[in-house]
Amino acid sequence: MGLELKGVSKVVDGKTHIYPTDLTLEPGTMNVLLGPTLSGKTSLMRLMAGLDVPASGQVIWNGADVTGQRVQDRGVAMVYQQFINYPSMSVYENIASPLRLLRKSKAEIDAAVHKTAEMMKLTPMLQRKPLELSGGQQQRCALARALVKEAGLVLLDEPLANLDYKLREELRVEIPRIFAESGAIFVYATTEPEEALLLGGNTATLWEGRVTQFGPTPEVYRRPSDATTAKVFSDPPMNFLQIRKRSGYLEFGDGQRAEVSGQLGALADGDYIAGFRPNHLEAEKHTEDAMAFHCKVAVTEITGSETFIHLDHHGDRWVGLVHGVRELEIGSDITVYLDPSHIYTFTEDGSLAAAASYAEAA
């Protein structure tokens, strides 16, 4: 039961937006669609909802083929990043509006509205108009209107993107609680890996219309199946470097080499791609076996307690995320350090050859 996509694709004017996709979402799960803008997140959600008809494949809902069924005939609710409320109606009437369309009785509507408003912490605001609410409260109202229908599938398309940082953080914490109380299948689209990790559940990574990996969120983060997934599930994207394994060592640029251990020891000799996340590059050497890489500073971005350092390593562009405020001159030389335990190894075609040893231990 639940939602199943079988070979579903989307083609618009001869251009493929979603390549044939198989995906199964179980009842009572939180599922994150993670990918950059134009990776296919909204297109995939529209296929799930029935707003678009797939070019191929089937959409199965609770065991029934609903591929050609109208969206209004499915148990689906959708919330967009542009939160939509009826400005002339009270919060109560906004939440009640889907139930009136379903011709529910007055008593049923009142009970459902108050139950949902309590869940969304909107009870004191039920008689206000949406424009009298804060941005976060308006988005809660839009979410309440989606949840009140008790839809089996709730689709959230970057619902927090237009809120300020404080409101985003507040609702990010609340959404898993709301999800747990509703029991529906939630599908949440985001461009932010941090948001996916916070929401938990399962994550599907998307790149150019393809689902590259799907599974429990921590597992996808720690063991990306390929370099594309690793790039998607890292912000800034994962850094890469050509390496070679030879006679028990990994050889890097700058004449660096590291003795292999753990799963790396099983790799055949040959050329590979090393991947490592920005937060694993350090401005100081903290471990005895950390490797040093000599780079030039391209740009620095100070975020407050941390600094993003954009680096040029012999033509490879890297980003390091280091603690503290670092005011570095553009074009200046800098040495950064990397613990070998944080290195992912990919084959030249991008497939994962060995996960970082720290991920294996997690």
pLDDT tens by residue, 181-238: 777 899 999 999 999 998 889 999 999 999 999 999 999 999 999 999 999 999 889 9
Asked if residues 335 and 341 have their Cβ atoms less than 8 Å apart, the reply is no
Location of each CATH 3.40.50.300 domain in the chain = 3-228
pLDDT digits (tens, 9 = 90+) for 294-347: 999 999 998 878 899 999 998 899 999 988 888 889 999 999 999 888 999 999
Identity at 4, one-letter amino acid code: E
Distant-in-sequence, close-in-space partners of 70: CB < 8 Å, separation ≥ 6: 50
28: how many CB neighbours lie within 10 A of its CB? Answer: 14
Q: Which residue type occupies 289?
A: D
Q: Which CATH superfamily is domain 3-228 in?
A: P-loop containing nucleotide triphosphate hydrolases (3.40.50.300)
DSSP per position, 252-281: -GGG-EEE--GGGGGSPSEEEEEEE-GGGE
Look at residue 360 in the predicted model and tell me its pLDDT: 60
Strands 56-61 and 153-157: unpaired
pLDDT, tens digit, 9 for 90 and up, residues 244-257: 999 888 888 667 78
pLDDT at 33: 98
Is the pLDDT assigned to residue 23 strictly greater than 90?
Answer: yes
CA distance 145 to 81: 14
Specify the CATH superfamily of domain 236-361: Nucleic acid-binding proteins (2.40.50.140)
pLDDT in tens, 41-73: 999 999 999 999 999 999 999 899 999 888 878
Task: Kindly report each contact of residues 301-306 with a partner whose C-beta sits within 8 Å and lies 24 or more positions away, as own/partner.
Answer: 302/326, 302/327
For residue 30, give the H/E element and its range: strand 30-34
Nearest to 218 by CA among 234, 190, 196: 196
CATH 2.40.50.140-classified regions of the chain: 236-361
Distance CA 278, CA 102 (A): 50
Residue closest to 357 by CA, chosen among 244, 265, 249: 265
Please state whether the peptide bond connecting residue 236 to the residue before it is cis, i.e. omega within 30 degrees of 0: yes
